[in-house]
Amino acid sequence: MGFRTAGEAMGRRATACALALALCACVDKSDLPRPVVQADAAAGLAVIKEVGCAACHRIPGVAWPEGRSGSNLAGFGARPLIAGRLPNQPDTLIRWLIDAPSMDPGTAMPPMPLTQDQARDVAAYLYTLDED
Amino acid sequence: MKTDAPPGIAGWPPPVLDPAGPFAGPIQTVAWVLFIMAAVVMVVVAVALGIALFGPRKWKRRVGGERLIWIAGLVFPVVVLTGLLVYGLTTTARVADAPKPGEMRVRVTGEMWWWRVAYLDGQGREVVQDANEVHIPAGQPVVFELESADVIHSFWVPRLGGKTDMIPGRRNFMRLQADAPGTYGGQCAEYCGGPHALMGLVVVAHAPDDYAAWLARQSRPAAVVPSAQGPLALIEQGRNVFAASGCAACHTIRGTEANGLAGPDLTHVGSRQTLGAGILPNNQGTMAGWISDSQSLKPGNRMPSYAVLSGQDVRAVAAYLESLK
């Protein structure tokens, strides 16, 4: 091993930093709650009951019904994917709630009669479901 | 314990002590009279028992003896109970008269576990068929002709009237009136098998003009109304899946070849407020869930879960049915 130039050293440091940052990002992301800005999870639960999401999904917080056509949403907030296909991120979820077929034509989930705000509230509630 | 009421349904759960029409008021009075009489008798008996057990000797003597048994044990109950019987029967008799000329008539037939509804003309002929939802004009009495297709059910819309049994082979009459337009929840009130508790219905009272318009709409054969959520191509696909899957064996959609009679008429199902007989809000989502797996929602009901359909097919049928306004 000979001398290193300053440029080389800096390059390495930058790479190390980038790597560390990327690692941090990886580690942090799995633990991060997915915030839905200015949404009201409690209102989301009320919307869920009003619209009848539980006709297809088991949803913690809704005692009846317990539909089986869609996935069980217990632990949804900790899952990486929506419907096994799409990244489980707030914007994607909100779009999915309003118009799932536009993102996955094969899905059985129809477009739901939700406003953008209602969908945000529902998403906020779903992200509180972090325990299976 | 499961305490969630069926979600999203106006008028549910129906309050039982909040009459909204002239046939519900007297029933509520009967209920209060019976309750108060029973409460008074219970207090008197409890006091007499207390005296007999713990009272001074002089008082004990007064609640003993044969004379009190004759008066309080025999004469009093016979008089009071006979009076209450006559009061109760006369109150309900007024509600249960056979229809007079000019009165509006609706036939509701209890089925396991839903309600077949038919609007009748003056001669008692069925003019329009529907299910699980009864529309009436507000401010006038409507005669309900109550029948059963299988076991005993009981028709009960608490805010509009009392309960009347639907008995196989009989036709019972009941008058209901809603003083104001609105939505009134109802429920089968006689245990009729597995999903009895999930046999609800909705009565919608309209202003008279709105009612006439509703009936005219309802009389027409099915018309598809496409929307952003239910585009025409998807509706077409749904119609084909509906035909190919044998749904028409049980369901009628007037204006199409579907003419089954075993299940609810679906001609205007997209305009109803509820699904599954008053238990679910009605939208494409709940419709898809019902088609795909109605057995998870109303276990034991006579519609099978359709696990043979793809996700897109389920969605298409839901879009088709919801387009039938």
What is the H or E stretch that residue A21 is in?
Answer: helix A6-31
Q: Which residues of chain B have pLDDT under 50?
A: 1-3, 5-8
Which residue of chain A comes nearest to B311, CA vs CA? Answer: A108
CA dihedral B88, B90, B95, B99 (to 10 degrees): 150
Q: Does B3 touch chain A (CB under 8 A)?
A: yes
Quote the pLDDT of residue A27.
Answer: 46
Cβ neighbours of A110 in B, within 8 Å: 229, 283-285, 287-288, 315, 318-319
Which residue of chain B comes nearest to A71, CA vs CA? Answer: B289
Which residue of chain B comes nearest to A50, CA vs CA? Answer: B8
Quote the pLDDT of residue B259.
Answer: 95
What is the CATH code of the structural domain delimited by A34-126?
Answer: 1.10.760.10
Does residue A1 have a pLDDT over 50? no
Strands (DSSP E) contained in B277-325 are 280-281
- The tokens of B320 are what? 């088709």
Q: Does B7 touch chain A (CB under 8 A)?
A: yes
What's the predicted TM-score (pTM) here? Answer: 0.86
B window 205-264, beta carbon within 8 A of A? 228-229
The verdict on a CB contact (< 8 Å) between B285 and A109 is yes
Quote the pLDDT of residue B303.
Answer: 96
Which residue of chain A comes nearest to B8, CA vs CA? Answer: A50
Which residue of chain B comes nearest to A101, CA vs CA? Answer: B312
Cβ neighbours of B293 in A, within 8 Å: 56, 67-69
Quote the pLDDT of residue A127.
Answer: 95
The verdict on a CB contact (< 8 Å) between B7 and A110 is no
Q: Does B297 touch chain A (CB under 8 A)?
A: yes
Query: Which chain A residues have any C-beta within 8 angstroms of a chain B C-beta?
Result: 49-56, 62-70, 101, 105-113
Cβ neighbours of B6 in A, within 8 Å: 64
Quote the pLDDT of residue A2.
Answer: 46
The verdict on a CB contact (< 8 Å) between B311 and A64 is no
Q: Tell which phi-psi region holds residue A108, choosing left (phi > 0), alpha (psi between -120 and 50) or beta.
A: alpha
Domains belonging to chain B, first-starting first, are 1-219 (2.60.40.420), 232-322 (2.60.40.420)
For residue B9, the tally of other CB atoms under 10 A from its CB is: 22
Give the separation between CA B139 and CA A74, rounded to whole angstroms.
48
Which residue of chain A comes nearest to B3, CA vs CA? Answer: A63
Q: DSSP letters of B31-86?
A: HHHHHHHHHHHHHHHHHHHHHHHHS-HHHHHHH-SHHHHHIIIIIHHHHHHHHHHH
ipTM over 0.90: no
Confirm if B291 and B311 have CB atoms less than 8 A apart.
no
Q: A with B: how many residue pairs have Cβ under 8 Å apart?
A: 99
Domain boundaries, chain A: 1-32, 34-126
| pLDDT one-digit tens code per residue, A12-27 | 665 555 555 555 444 4
Strands (DSSP E) contained in chain A are 81-82, 86-87
The verdict on a CB contact (< 8 Å) between A56 and B281 is no
- The tokens of B114 are what? 């839903």
Distance from CA of B241 to the nearest CA of A (A): 14
Quote the pLDDT of residue A17.
Answer: 52
